[in-house]
């Protein structure tokens, strides 16, 4: 089996400029088998992630790191002229590209291009959104304090954020995979081709559920969650909107606490 591993280490060169200026580096990661599908994995703490599909055969990565300190500051009579080094690595094996960002204390923004036929596993926590466009593959996207926007995508999607909007626009869908779209504070808006076949399960505690599909609603009964242990017994009731689109299919789950759910057809 063809196998290749490429490790790229970036060292940040700092300049004596005003704090908050972005330092930018660019590198490419070749694939073991460019004719086959691939996968990109990137988990980080602070910053945005933007991924775009393109016609090339490599993964192209642009990194922007925010220097959060003021370069004019002094310490023990010495003037600050720069920050610490940047430690980001990218490793490729069998068409799986893993990017490891060890910059924990500064906002790091990634702009990445991948071949069209690429799956993604992306997550960030603070100070950034996640944007994806023009890829075909399984997408596992997670954010905490930011939005998730997926445009012109194909494949199974799991998109979850805590504070932000989830917005997904499918180019095509094969009606074979269960999917999840959720937020806590924010609208969940997903647009599907009219050919979608699905069983829908949707819930918003502080908002409403909307659709322009001709959805056949099923009887809505509260779900009972019973838990027993340590001498206690707890019963939780949850009300979900359920229905079938075009006769039904895989389950699509939509959930938010403070926001609306919009299931749109195009």
- pLDDT digits over 61-96, tens only? 999 987 655 445 666 667 655 555 568 889 999 999
1-10, 110-119, 255-264: which range is least confident on average? 1-10
24-33, 89-98, 172-181, 200-209: which range is least confident on average? 24-33
pTM: 0.85
Calculate ∠ Cα 46-124-129, nearest 5°: 90
How many angstroms separate the CA atoms of 164 and 228, rounded? 34
Task: Write the DSSP string, 50-76.
Answer: EEEEES-SEEEEEEEEE--S-TT-EET
152 in Cβ contact with 136 (< 8 Å): no
170 pLDDT more than 80: yes
159 CB-side CA count, 13 A: 31
Nearest to 84 by CA among 106, 56, 59, 112: 106
pLDDT higher at 167 or 78: 167
- Residue 239's pLDDT band (cuts 50, 70, 90): confident
Strands 49-54 and 130-133 turn out to be: parallel
- Residue 218's pLDDT band (cuts 50, 70, 90): confident
20 pLDDT more than 60: no
How many angstroms separate the CA atoms of 50 and 141, rounded? 12
Q: What is the per-residue pLDDT across 107-133, written as a single tens digit (0 to 9) for each?
A: 999 999 999 999 999 999 999 999 999
- Residue 38's pLDDT band (cuts 50, 70, 90): very high
How many angstroms separate the CA atoms of 258 and 117, rounded? 35
Q: Which residues contact 6 (CB under 8 A, 6 or more apart)?
A: 29, 30, 90, 91, 92
**The predicted structure's pLDDT at residue 13:** 41
**The predicted structure's pLDDT at residue 68:** 56
Nearest to 252 by CA among 239, 263, 260: 263
pLDDT higher at 134 or 221: 134
**The predicted structure's pLDDT at residue 264:** 98
Q: For the chain, give the mean pLDDT.
A: 86
pLDDT higher at 77 or 247: 247
């Amino acid at each position: 089996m063809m196998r290749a591993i490429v490790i790229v280490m970036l060292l940040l060169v700092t300049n004596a400029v005003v704090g908050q200026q972005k330092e930018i580096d660019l590198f490419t990661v070749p694939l073991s088998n460019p004719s086959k599908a691939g996968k990109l994995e990137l988990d980080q703490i602070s910053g945005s992630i933007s991924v775009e599909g393109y016609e090339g055969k490599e993964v192209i990565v642009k990194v922007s790191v925010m220097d959060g300190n003021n370069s004019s500051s002094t310490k023990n009579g010495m003037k600050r002229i720069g920050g610490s080094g940047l430690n980001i690595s990218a490793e490729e094996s069998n068409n799986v590209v893993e990017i490891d960002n060890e910059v924990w204390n500064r906002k790091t923004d990634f702009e990445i291009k991948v071949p069209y036929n690429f799956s993604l596993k992306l997550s960030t926590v603070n100070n950034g959104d996640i944007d994806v466009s023009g890829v075909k593959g399984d997408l596992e996207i997670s954010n905490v304090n930011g939005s998730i926007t997926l445009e012109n995508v194909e494949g199974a999607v799991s998109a979850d954020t805590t504070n932000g909007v989830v917005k997904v626009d499918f180019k095509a869908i094969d009606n074979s995979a269960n999917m999840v779209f959720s937020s806590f504070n924010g609208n969940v808006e997903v647009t599907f081709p009219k050919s979608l076949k699905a069983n829908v399960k949707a819930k918003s505690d502080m908002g409403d559920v909307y659709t322009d599909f001709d959805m056949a609603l099923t009887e809505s009964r509260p779900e009972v969650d019973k838990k027993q242990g340590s001498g206690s017994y707890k019963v939780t009731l949850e009300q979900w909107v359920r229905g079938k689109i075009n006769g039904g299919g895989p389950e699509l789950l939509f959930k938010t606490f403070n926001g609306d759910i919009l299931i749109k057809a195009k």
